[in-house]
């Protein structure tokens, strides 16, 4: 089943009209190459497609020698570089190409933001349009599925995740086999290749601890003690996991009221299939004790994916006080705060009184019965 990715039209429009280097980055196996090729197949012109896994291109595209690169690109209307994280100093070389051939349309994909976003974007400041491609979102699935159908598949999505290739598998065993293979083959690949870490076991220990703590605030000090690392090292590892699109942080919201907790973050997973693989638990929801935490993680990730895909920028937080009052998810946009309670079954009719007194009553409760209103419209 072919799924139309929400950002496709924006990427295509930018490539054709903006005269900028267009960058698509995201986790491995999220469909970046497929989407890029679909866009390229729909436009006119002579296209040079380069897979940076091929050694013959790496030295040339990191040479900083335009006369040599010109021999490669001359006569083409579009340059497409896939797996661009393989090429050292690609950013400065793309700057050279772009400055010398500004009419050449350039499309780049890469799997790791700490390589693509930093070594590509920095030399190309003001010359790029950058897009993130996440795993499939429910908003994207809605084009070919009714809300009723998706509601009935929530357990599947929460258990095995939403990587595109999963959609072709019909039974649970095949889905489980795929997500295990994906995690084993790709989970640490960018981190190990593009950082000084050489032992995946340390990252795996940290990921297991994080996977068991979704929905809870994380103590870096406790993580460091459990793994036998310094707090600085743990923070650095979490930063790498974020930049590899495995996890993301949710910070505590505060207007500096003394009673509010802000020192600890929640760390959530972009994909619950990967999370469940890390803890080796693909049990049905009615046999689990972590459904509430999974649902909270799932909805927040889907909400952020949805907002990212439609290019709506908000700041995302959670909120809690030392006295125990809490809001699962908070969005801030143009000074306006919106609070969300996320409950799989139960509902709460209003926000905590401490929140209302300080921030107002713009409050929503997201449940199994109404989730689509917040992540699929």
pLDDT in tens, 286-320: 999 999 999 999 999 999 999 999 999 999 999 99
CA dist 288 → 154, 280, 292 (Å): 15, 13, 10
Q: Domain locations in the chain?
A: 8-132, 138-375
CA dist 353 → 214, 240, 356, 357, 358 (Å): 25, 38, 5, 6, 9
Question: Using an 8 Å Cβ cutoff, are 342 and 299 in contact?
Answer: yes
Q: Examine the pLDDT at 243 and tell me if it is beyond 90.
A: no
Taking alpha carbons only, the member of 239, 237, 246 closest to residue 186 is: 246
Structure tokens belonging to residue 291: 């459904």
In degrees rounded to 5, what are phi and psi of residue 20?
Answer: -125, 160
Question: Using an 8 Å Cβ cutoff, are 242 and 192 in contact?
Answer: no
- The whole-number average pLDDT for the span 98-120 is 83
Residue 117 confidence (pLDDT): 61
Q: What angle do CA 128, 131, 134 make, to 5 degrees?
A: 160
Q: What is the pTM (predicted TM-score) of this model?
A: 0.93
Q: How far is CA 88 from the centre of its chain?
A: 23
- The whole-number average pLDDT for the span 192-218 is 84
Could you tell me the strand order of the sheet in which 21-25 lies?
47-51, 78-82, 105-110, 21-25, 128-132
Q: Examine the pLDDT at 193 and tell me if it is beyond 80.
A: no
- Residue 198 confidence class, pLDDT cut points 50, 70, 90: low
CATH number 3.40.50.300 is the correct assignment for the domain at 8-132: yes
Percentage of residues in the chain having pLDDT higher than 70: 94
- The whole-number average pLDDT for the span 278-289 is 96
Structure tokens belonging to residue 157: 């999505």
8-132 and 138-375: same fold? Answer: no
Percentage of residues in the chain having pLDDT higher than 90: 72
What gap in Å lies between CA 250 and CA 246, rounded to an integer? 14
Q: Examine the pLDDT at 148 and tell me if it is beyond 80.
A: yes
* Helix, strand and coil in the chain, % to nearest 5: 45, 20, 35
Token match 């006080």: residue?
Answer: 321
- Residue 204 confidence class, pLDDT cut points 50, 70, 90: confident
CATH of domain 138-375: 1.10.10.10
- Residue 258 confidence class, pLDDT cut points 50, 70, 90: low
Residue 349 confidence (pLDDT): 76
- The whole-number average pLDDT for the span 130-154 is 94
What mean pLDDT, rounded, does the chain reach?
91
What gap in Å lies between CA 321 and CA 223, rounded to an integer? 22
Residue 200 confidence (pLDDT): 72
């Amino acid at each position: 089943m072919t799924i139309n990715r929400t950002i496709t039209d924006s990427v295509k429009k930018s490539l054709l009209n903006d005269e900028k280097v267009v960058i698509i980055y995201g986790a491995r196996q999220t469909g970046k190459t497929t989407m890029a090729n679909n866009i390229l197949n729909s436009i006119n012109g002579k296209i040079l497609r380069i897979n940076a896994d091929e050694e013959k291109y790496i030295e040339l595209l990191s040479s900083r020698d335009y006369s040599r690169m010109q021999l490669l690109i001359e006569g083409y209307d579009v340059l497409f570089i896939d797996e661009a994280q393989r090429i050292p100093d690609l950013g400065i070389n793309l700057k050279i190409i772009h400055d010398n051939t500004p009419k050449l349309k350039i499309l780049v994909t890469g799997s790791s933001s700490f390589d693509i976003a930093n070594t590509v974007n920095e030399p190309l400041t003001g010359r790029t349009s950058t897009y993130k491609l996440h795993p499939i979102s429910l908003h994207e699935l809605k084009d070919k599925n009714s809300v009723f159908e998706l509601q009935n598949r929530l357990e599947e999505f929460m258990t095995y995740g939403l990587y595109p290739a999963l959609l072709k598998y019909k039974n649970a065993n095949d889905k489980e086999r795929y997500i295990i293979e994906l995690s084993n083959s790709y989970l640490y690949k960018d981190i190990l290749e593009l950082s000084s870490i050489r032992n995946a076991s340390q990252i795996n220990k940290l990921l297991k601890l994080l996977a068991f703590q979704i929905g809870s605030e994380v103590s870096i000090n406790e993580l460091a003690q459990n793994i036998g690392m310094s707090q600085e090292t743990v923070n650095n590892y979490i930063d790498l996991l974020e930049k590899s699109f495995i996890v993301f942080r949710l910070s505590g919201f505060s207007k500096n009221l003394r009673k509010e907790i802000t020192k600890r973050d929640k760390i959530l997973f972009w994909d619950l299939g990967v999370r469940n693989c890390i803890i080796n638990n693909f049990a049905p929801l009615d046999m689990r004790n972590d459904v509430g935490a999974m649902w909270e993680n799932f909805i927040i990730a889907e909400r952020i994916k949805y907002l990212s895909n439609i290019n709506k920028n908000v700041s995302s937080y959670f909120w809690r006080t030392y006295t125990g009052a809490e809001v699962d998810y908070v969005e801030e946009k143009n000074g306006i705060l919106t609070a969300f309670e996320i409950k799989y079954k139960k509902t709460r009719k209003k926000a905590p009184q401490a929140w209302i007194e300080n921030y107002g009553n713009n409050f929503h409760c997201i449940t199994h019965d109404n989730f689509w209103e917040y992540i699929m419209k």
